[in-house]
Amino acid sequence: MTFLNSIILGIIEGFTEFLPISSTGHLVLSSHLLKLEQSDFLKSFEIAIQLGAILSVVVLYFKRFFLNFEVVKRVVVAFIPTAVIGFLLYGFIKNILLESAATVLWSLLLGGVVLIVFEFWYSKTALKINAQNSLLLSYRHCFFIGLFQALAVIPGVSRAGATILGGLWLGIPRKTIVEFSFLLALPTMAGATGLDLLKNASLFSYDQFGILAVGFFISFTTAVLAIKLLLSFIQRHTFVSFGVYRIILAVVFLLFLI
């Protein structure tokens, strides 16, 4: 893996992390196109640069998140299901699911169909949430949102997509659940990256740490822009276009590239 590969994957990760199109799926497919060896380092790299993208949330939401303990408590509750499932299935996820391009493609395809069907079904009834701080969801809803996010241990499902659709299904306003998904990503990917580096960091070379650092930084800077674009997009559009994109991408890969 080269520094150029790291930059390319960092841009892809930063741009896709908060969209309902699966950043992990895009990294797996991009690695396939770049003909990168499915090594332990590549898998760790794909996990770690996701944390880089998610740290952009710290920059953009510092006051609303870190300085508001009530919001922090709700994010922690929502994080619990993913933490338990991710820890128990760590080996299966990294060594089996992340190596399967077929799993990614079928998840992208089915997820795209679900996204489109859901948007056509979705009623715009929203919860009556405190207008001054809409991130103060009920703890029950936070836990259920966490269960939806846990579906994203399957590459291609999309952590953001599962979280957002789960929140919409519970009646949470679109902008609120999108922003909550940003915050929930932080402990989720910090935990995943920490666990992975704890298990594998001793196996990496000095050059590999440099490659990882470049991808981490690129994904962070790209994600700052991506968050702003997504928040602007959802003010005027549904997620149907993302569902169509997922289906087209999966079909192209299934028919021509895999």
pLDDT for position 217: 94
| Cα gap 188→147, rounded to integer Å | 12
Q: Which domain holds residue 146?
A: 3-257
Count structural domains, the chain. 1
| Cα gap 114→192, rounded to integer Å | 26
| Cα gap 216→229, rounded to integer Å | 20
State the pLDDT confidence band at 148, using cuts at 50, 70 and 90: very high
pLDDT for position 205: 81
With beta carbons less than 8 A apart as the criterion, state whether 46 and 98 touch. yes
Is the pLDDT at 202 greater than 80? The verdict is: no
Per-residue pLDDT tens over the stretch 113-138: 999 999 888 755 545 444 444 678 89
Per-residue pLDDT tens over the stretch 2-28: 999 999 999 999 999 888 998 888 998
pLDDT for position 182: 86
User: Pick the residue with more confidence: 106 or 127?
Assistant: 106
Is the pLDDT at 109 greater than 60? The verdict is: yes
pLDDT for position 258: 57
pLDDT for position 211: 92
pLDDT for position 134: 65
pLDDT for position 123: 58
| Cα gap 45→43, rounded to integer Å | 5
| Cα gap 22→19, rounded to integer Å | 7
**Which percentage of the chain shows pLDDT scores above 90?**
32
State mean pLDDT over 237-258: 89
pLDDT for position 225: 87
The answer, as to whether pTM is greater than 0.85, is no
State the pLDDT confidence band at 79, using cuts at 50, 70 and 90: very high
3-class DSSP string for the chain: CCHHHHHHHHHHHHHHCCCCCCHHHHHHHHHHHCCCCCCHHHHHHHHHHHHHHHCHHHHHHHHHHCCCHHHHHHHHHHHHHHHHHHHHCHHHHHHCHHHCHHHHHHHHHHHHHHHHHHHHHCCCCCCCCCCCCCCCCCHHHHHHHHHHHHHHHCCCCCHHHHHHHHHHHCCCCHHHHHHHHHHHHHHHHHHHHHHHHHHHHHHCCHHHHHHHHHHHHHHHHHHHHHHHHHHHHCCCCCCHHHHHHHHHHHHHHHHHHC
Tokens of 235: 């003010």
pLDDT for position 87: 81
